[in-house]
Amino acid sequence: MAVTRTFSIIKPDATRRNLTGAVTKMLEEAGLRVVASKRIHMTREQAEGFYAVHKERPFFGELVDFMISGPVVVQVLEGEDAVKRNRDVMGATNPADAAEGTIRKTYAESIEANSVHGSDSDENAAIEIAFFFNEDEIVG
């Protein structure tokens, strides 16, 4: 299995509850390595750009408002089959559907305040990583 990269966001509900370390521990225990990380407060323009694929969805406005409601931690994660590995440890989007032992089952408050984002494909991982990081900020 190839070592690949994925993109992760620790969302405002998790930073507010001081869960950056707890979430990162679960990512690391799942076999992912944090090769880049920074805490930022997204601008509205950044959040709208990042989630542009969802702009026709009824929840888009609330999603953007939530993502700029506090700091987030954006990360690049590396590991074998990193996109799938990360999605497995995150759990289902809606914490009500998430499996035991996943980040969202453990920590998420709701489908919106669901603690983490993770890329859904290698192609989107590359796009999302480039949205927030320069190559020289990623140290594998």
Judged by beta carbon, residue 59 or residue 130, the one nearer ligand CMP is: 59
Whole-number CA gyration radius for the chain = 14
Q: Which of 86, 95, 117, 128 is catalytic?
A: 117
Q: Least CB distance from residue 86 to ligand CMP, whole Å? A: 11
Interface residues toward ligand CMP, by CB under 6 A: 54, 59, 63, 93, 111-112, 114, 117
Q: Which is nearer to ligand CMP, 1 or 113 (CB)?
A: 113
List, in sequence order, every residue forming a beta bridge with 7; answer none if it has no partner: 76
Q: How far is the CB of 139 from ligand CMP (least distance, A)?
A: 25
Angle of helix 20-29 relative to helix 82-90, nearest 10 degrees? 130
CB of 26 to ligand CMP, least distance (A): 16
Active site residue 117: yes
The whole-angstrom separation of Cα 54 and Cα 50 is: 9
DSSP string, 10-77: E-HHHHHTT-HHHHHHHHHHTT-EEEEEEEE---HHHHHHHTGGGTTSTTHHHHHHHHTSS-EEEEEE
Measured from the CB atom, the residue of 111 and 126 that comes closer to ligand CMP is 111
Which residue, 112 or 140, is less far from ligand CMP as judged by CB?
Answer: 112
State how far the Cα of 36 lies from the Cα of 59, in Å rounded to an integer: 29
Min dist. Cβ of residue 125 to ligand CMP (A):
13
| Residues known to be catalytic | 117
